[in-house]
Each structure stands twice: as C-alpha cells, then as structure tokens.
C-alpha cells in the first residue's frame, strides 16, 4: 500500500478547553517523571486510514501498542477545529465512521489548512 499522508497524533485527552490543556500538560510531566512516553501517528493510504498509538516504558522499552484501521468509504462526516496550546497549535479532527457509536476525535500535529484539505477527500470517499 502506498502511503499518501502522515502526521503525529496527540495521545492524551482531546479538546480545546483550557482545563483539558492544563490536565494534559500535568499528565505529560507526570509521565515523563515516571519514564512513560506516548506517541502516535495517523497514516493515510489509498483506501484506509491507520492510527497507531504506542506507549514506551522507561523512555525506550515498548510497552503497549494499538492499531486502528478506518475504511475511508465508511467516513460519513468530519469536522476540524483549531486550537492554540502552550507549546504551539493543534488541529482537532473529528471523524464520524460507520460502525462506531461515538465520533472518533484526534488532535493532529499539522496545519489547519493541510488537515482540512485531507478531510475533504476522506468524507464520502465511495471510490475506495
């Protein structure tokens, strides 16, 4: 499969509320002190979107990993929002995917324009 798009994904609580941002920052500091590192990425392929979440223990040992594969033809709606944070800006993408009872929200570490263009190609992609 050919990779079309790749970006990093925030692995803590997703939201634009100031309190969520503070809790995320405190959680990040606590995880650093205990040797826990979280990372994630979103990769777009021709017919699917793969979201990988990884947790490392003691900064280098792989602890947990989960992979979620979303079929692009099952995405019925999507929205994006822009949020400024302490360390920069984050774009929040919410995907409404068939088969899930709740919308799937992801904080993507990319520009708002880039994510908006990508999401427009994902919604209603019946060709895939």
- Identify which of 47, 40, 39 has the alpha carbon closest to the alpha carbon of residue 3: 47
CB burial string 21-45: b at 16+ within 10 A, e below: beebeeebeeeeeeebbbebebebe
pLDDT of 125 reads 57
Reported as a single tens digit per residue, the pLDDT across 33-49 is 999 999 999 999 999 99
Reported as a single tens digit per residue, the pLDDT across 96-105 is 988 888 998 8
| Residue 3 to residue 45: CA distance in whole angstroms | 5
Reported as a single tens digit per residue, the pLDDT across 30-89 is 999 999 999 999 999 999 999 999 999 998 898 899 999 999 888 889 999 887 766 667
| Residue 13 to residue 100: CA distance in whole angstroms | 19
Per-residue pLDDT at 128 exceeds 90: no
Question: pTM to 2 decimals?
Answer: 0.81
């Amino acid at each position: 499969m050919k990779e079309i798009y790749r970006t990093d994904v925030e692995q803590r609580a997703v939201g634009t509320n100031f309190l969520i941002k503070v809790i995320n920052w405190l959680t990040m500091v606590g995880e650093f002190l205990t040797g826990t590192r979280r990372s994630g990425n979103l990769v777009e392929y021709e017919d699917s979107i793969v979201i990988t979440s990884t947790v490392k223990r003691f900064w280098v040992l792989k602890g947990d990993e989960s992979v979620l594969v979303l079929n692009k033809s099952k995405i019925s709606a999507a929205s994006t929002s822009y949020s400024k944070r302490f360390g920069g800006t984050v774009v929040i993408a919410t995907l409404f995917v068939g088969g899930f009872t709740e919308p799937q929200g992801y904080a993507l570490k990319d520009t708002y324009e880039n994510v908006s263009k990508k999401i427009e190609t994902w919604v209603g992609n019946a060709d895939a």
